[in-house]
Amino acid sequence: MKEQTFTITDDTGIHARPATLLVNKAGQYESHVEMHYNGKAVNLKSIMGVMSLGVPKGAEIKVTVEGSDEDQAMEGITAAIREQLGE
């Protein structure tokens, strides 16, 4: 299992557009991918789950990836988050 923490720096947090990009990126992999925020964990392949977290600017999220392509999945998701939302 891979795990990484990110700080969201986008002024609007994780809203519809970046959430869609993250869900689409996670959907490219076989691995199970979760986003953790504020004591909740959701499937990163679920737009409703990601949006339900209401992640604001400055929030710290954790992404966990487990499966046969977890290395590639974490690399891709990390790149997508850094390009769209933060560090």
**Residue range 46-62, pLDDT digits in tens:** 999 999 999 999 999 99
Number of domains in the chain: 1
Planar angle of CA 73, 36, 55, nearest 5 degrees: 105
| CATH number of the CATH domain containing 36 | 3.30.1340.10
Q: What are the start-end ranges of the H helices in the chain?
A: 16-26, 47-53, 70-84
Q: Would residue 15 show up in a list of annotated catalytic residues for this protein?
A: yes
Q: How confident is the model at residue 84 (pLDDT cuts 50, 70, 90)?
A: confident
Please identify which of the residues 15, 32, 36, 57 carries the catalytic annotation.
15
Provide the whole-model pTM.
0.91
Task: Quote the pLDDT of residue 46.
Answer: 98
The domain of 51 spans 2-85
